[in-house]
Structure 1
Amino acid sequence: MKTLFKQMTICGVGLIGGSLAMVAREKKLVGRIVGLGRTQPNLDVATERGMLDAATREPAEAARGADLVVLAVPIRSMPETLAAMLPYLPDNAIVTDVGSVKGWVVSELEPMLRPGMALVAVHPVAGKETTGAAAATRDLFVERRVIVTPSARTTPEALAKVEELWRATGARVERMEPGVHDEILARASHLPQVVASALAAALAEEQVAGRPVVEFGAGGLRDTTRIAASSPEMWRDICLTNREAILAAMRLFGREFAEFERLVEAGDADGLVALFERGRAMRERLR
């Protein structure tokens, strides 16, 4: 495949950033890959796994020569990370991200760009509960959805190159308005995380007759709380930057939960079956 960028600098070489680096190196999509990170041990893992040509904790060093910057840090850290790199970036640099919220990212980052720079906001819907460079895999994005949200500072050339990069990972790329993205993902991604974490937190210290209830959980408890193991820092930022959409999703869930509670209290067998059937029908559509 053709080389799309001379140098890709990945800020945050974790699950997403590291997986992208692995594919880009394997398929020679970029000439050079530089990793910017906060902790040396994670950068060492990324280097040992062959993801990077260079690793640094200094933004200036990471920025020099980068015609593509991938912000793979927690969302609220993105403006600070980009600000530290801006004075050293080429005038035609393309900035992209992998955050789960797009409206906030676009509104915060676009005003920071110098003339000649472009922003292409992206959300690869391919996360796992594991984190860090050790969790990265070459096939993470295969047949997974990658949502691109063009905005005022997205140029046609930048958009084409970033989309080609993601298609090369095996992902299914589609475009969406930032606000529409945030409303959809609040319900399809952010709400499940809140529910899983709330369930895990509710049961964390719960005991019955001196026995910790979580010790008796089997597949159901493990499956429904799996994503509760995800990064608290990442999910804190998602909740704070997509607050209104997430609150609407939580209210939607709250109404259904309240209906379950009402039916159980009333002993309404038919009503319970109907709700369980509706839930099962939705689950069947995910297969």
Structure 2
Amino acid sequence: MEQGLAYRLPPGSPPVARAAIIGLGLIGGSLGLALVQGGLAQEVVGYDRDGEAVQTAVRLGAVTRAAFSSEEAVAGAEIVFLAVPVGSLTKVAAAVAPFTAPGAIVTDTGSVKGDIVYAMENIFHSRAFYIGGHPMAGSEKAGIKAADRYLLENAVYVLTPTQNTDSGALSRLQGLLKALGARVITMDPEEHDLVVAGVSHLPHLLAVSLMQTAGELSREHPITLMLAAGGFRDTTRIAAGNPEMWRDIFLSNRQAILKVLQLWRRQVEALEGVIAREDAMELEAVLQHARHLRNQVPARQKGLLPTLHEIVVTVPDRPGVIGRMASALGGAGINIIDLEILRVREGEGGSIRLAFTTAEAAAGALEILQGMGINARIL
């Protein structure tokens, strides 16, 4: 098979002539919006087994053309995104492989790699270039209606090449994903599965177990869920995720998940013992260590981003105040990488967190905002 893609565009044209997206949910729809609205593809063809999702994708502009089958969608596409649940990946891949353009790049968006990567390589062997992918972005909301053109902006996008991966195809895919705004890293498939089991899959299982526990408690104490405050809601937010998707993830990555569950169980048992012994000094030491580790986690990041540099501003409740701040910083060439309204009291004002990629940008923003008479401080 020739190196590179089967289709080449004239200079100045979008990087991709035709892209195909199979699976028009949150991730597939967000990819489509970014490709279309970012001008990175001349044509984006989409297919989903849910006809309503396809119609919504067309209406939202996530695809430029709807296909009536997955086979039709991939025909002539130089890059194919398989944004379907991990439990369906190999089945969908086997169905579309004979219709995939020779030399096309095929990638997926599943959060489990491992054996799936090697199975997919075999399916597309000698016809297309397969590269495993996992965008580290998402939401507890599911479906095309939750799609976000900027979902991948500044999010880590993991690619899992193997010794069989074509270097030219990998470079081309990396370039396209970076153009979408993602931060691309490469990992070994097995390492990826173990790491995400610890930082993504295990937290979801814990959120589910916390909700189940609160549910049991509420049987005798109905007020339980009414008293669930911000900490409980934040901790269990991800339990509202798509059950079908997470079922497939847990089963597909069961070996890595079982391994990290053993690590977690030892921690819980140790905590249980410290509390049972009423060992105040040991308990405080454990809490201090956990606090130290937590402070090493980059704040408010998407995926595996480097540490963000943040400032907090206090502003009055006046129309356009956020817009004026953004315009002032944008005019100085300072990009706000993340923004969050922390607290607000209607009629008075509130506090807003602004995040930047460098300390220099944060310092420059601080100076500009203070010069505007806005109360601002470095976090």
What is the percentage of aligned positions where both structures have the same residue?
37
Deviations 1:36-82 (A, max 9, x none): 11212222221111111122351222121122111110012011111
Moved more, 246-255 or 59-68: 59-68
Q: What corresponds to 1:154 in structure 2?
A: 165
Q: Aligned residues, how many?
A: 287
Structure-2 change in CA distance of 1:187 and 1:22 (3 Å): same
Q: What corresponds to 1:124 in structure 2?
A: 135
* Cα shift at 1:105: 2.0
Inter-partner Cα distance in structure 1 for 2:19 and 2:270: 50
Structure 2 stretches lacking a partner, 5+ long: 1-11, 300-379
Answering whether residue 229 of structure 2 is matched by residue 218 of structure 1, we say yes
Which secondary structure state, in structure 1, belongs to the residue aligned with residue 295 of structure 2? helix
Higher relative contact order (CA 8 A, sep 6+): 1
In structure 1, which of residues 39, 47, 55 is the aligned counterpart of residue 58 of structure 2?
Answer: 47
TM-score computed with the length of structure 2 as normaliser: 0.72
TM-score computed with the length of structure 1 as normaliser: 0.94
Inter-partner Cα distance in structure 2 for 1:10 and 1:209: 48
RMSD: 1.7
Inter-partner Cα distance in structure 2 for 1:2 and 1:283: 46
Structure 1 stretches lacking a partner, 5+ long: none
Answering whether residue 198 of structure 2 is matched by residue 198 of structure 1, we say no
Deviations 1:7-53 (A, max 9, x none): 11111112111111111112221221111112122222211111111
Select the structure of larger CA radius of gyration. Answer: 2
Deviating runs (4+, > 4 A) in structure 1?
none
Which secondary structure state, in structure 2, belongs to the residue aligned with residue 100 of structure 1? coil
Inter-partner Cα distance in structure 1 for 2:259 and 2:207: 17
Q: What corresponds to 2:41 in structure 1?
A: 30
One-letter amino acid of the structure 2 residue matched with residue 129 of structure 1: E
* Cα shift at 1:278: 2.0
The question of whether the paired residues in 2 share the 8 Å contact of 1:103 and 1:178 is answered with yes
Moved more, 77-86 or 210-219: 210-219
Q: Which has the higher helix share?
A: 1
One-letter amino acid of the structure 2 residue matched with residue 220 of structure 1: G
In structure 2, which of residues 176, 179, 203 is the aligned counterpart of residue 168 of structure 1?
Answer: 179
Q: What corresponds to 1:276 in structure 2?
A: 287
Which secondary structure state, in structure 1, belongs to the residue aligned with residue 137 of structure 2? coil
One-letter amino acid of the structure 2 residue matched with residue 183 of structure 1: L
* Cα shift at 1:264: 1.6
In structure 2, which of residues 115, 122, 132 is the aligned counterpart of residue 104 of structure 1?
Answer: 115
Which secondary structure state, in structure 2, belongs to the residue aligned with residue 221 of structure 1? helix
One-letter amino acid of the structure 1 residue matched with residue 277 of structure 2: A
Inter-partner Cα distance in structure 2 for 1:161 and 1:96: 12
Structure-2 change in CA distance of 1:2 and 1:262 (3 Å): farther
The question of whether the paired residues in 2 share the 8 Å contact of 1:118 and 1:153 is answered with no
Inter-partner Cα distance in structure 1 for 2:252 and 2:219: 38
